Amino acid sequence: MDRGIFGVELALYLLMNKVLFPNHVFLLRGNHESKAMTSNYGFAEEVLFKYNQQVLDSFYEVFTALPLAAVINESILVLHGGLFTDIGVTIRDLKNIDRFSEPPNRGLMHDCLWSDPGKAPGRHFNTQRNGGLVFGPDVTESFLIRNKLKLIVRSHEVRDAGFSNDHEGLMTIFSAPNYCDCKLLSNDFFYELIAYFLSNGKLRSLSYFERGFDSKYPPI
């Protein structure tokens, strides 16, 4: 959610695939699938602009139902962010999370959605995101051994090549590296998309910036 101006269409397309192929398509929750994030970063405004509050509430309900993690073939853990501030976490602990809520500001559910792998060993507070954990290769290794897993697959960070091997046994997959027509202007990472559409018979433009929609919707 929140990236680009066709978030609604993309979300509906993914959900449609889940409905059509429930045993073959699996959608996991990410840190943007929450009320707080979508309020600040554009998706809520996009839904209200295109539909209404009822549709937005339905999306919120879907967000809380999305699983936080999945295990493939008893060997690969897939989740959006990464590993945990708590020591000794098991897959059973993850299964016991009551996920049907807004993500809290700390704890297992929070870390699932927010953490990033780092180069340095150990556990460090994720100062860049001001939430979640930066965990070292040793944390990955001990988690895999404890849970008899071979690999962790996560996303959460853009990668130019679409993926990267961050630790032995942990990879990042981010298959849309140009996901928001990213462009570098001076030293600030900044992007903008403009869409043109008909509204009340007039051609209007809708400008999307990193932190949400431009509220002016100026006619062109």
CB of 88 to Mn ion, least distance (A): 25
CB of 155 to Mn ion, least distance (A): 7
3-class DSSP string for 38-74: HHHHCHHHHHHHHCCHHHHHHHHHHHHHCCCEEEECC
Catalytic residues: 32
When the beta carbons of 156 and 206 are compared against Mn ion, the nearer one is 156
When the beta carbons of 170 and 206 are compared against Mn ion, the nearer one is 170
Q: If binding is defined by CB under 5 A, does position 85 make contact with Mn ion?
A: no
**Chain centroid offset of residue 208 CA:** 19
Binding-site member from 156, 166, 169, 213 for Mn ion (CB under 5 A): 156
DSSP string, 95-148: HT---SS---SSSHHHHHHH-EE-SSSSEEE-TTTTSSEEE-HHHHHHHHHHTT
Binding-site member from 5, 31, 34, 115 for Mn ion (CB under 5 A): 31
**Interface contacts to Mn ion, rule CB under 5 A:** 30-31, 156
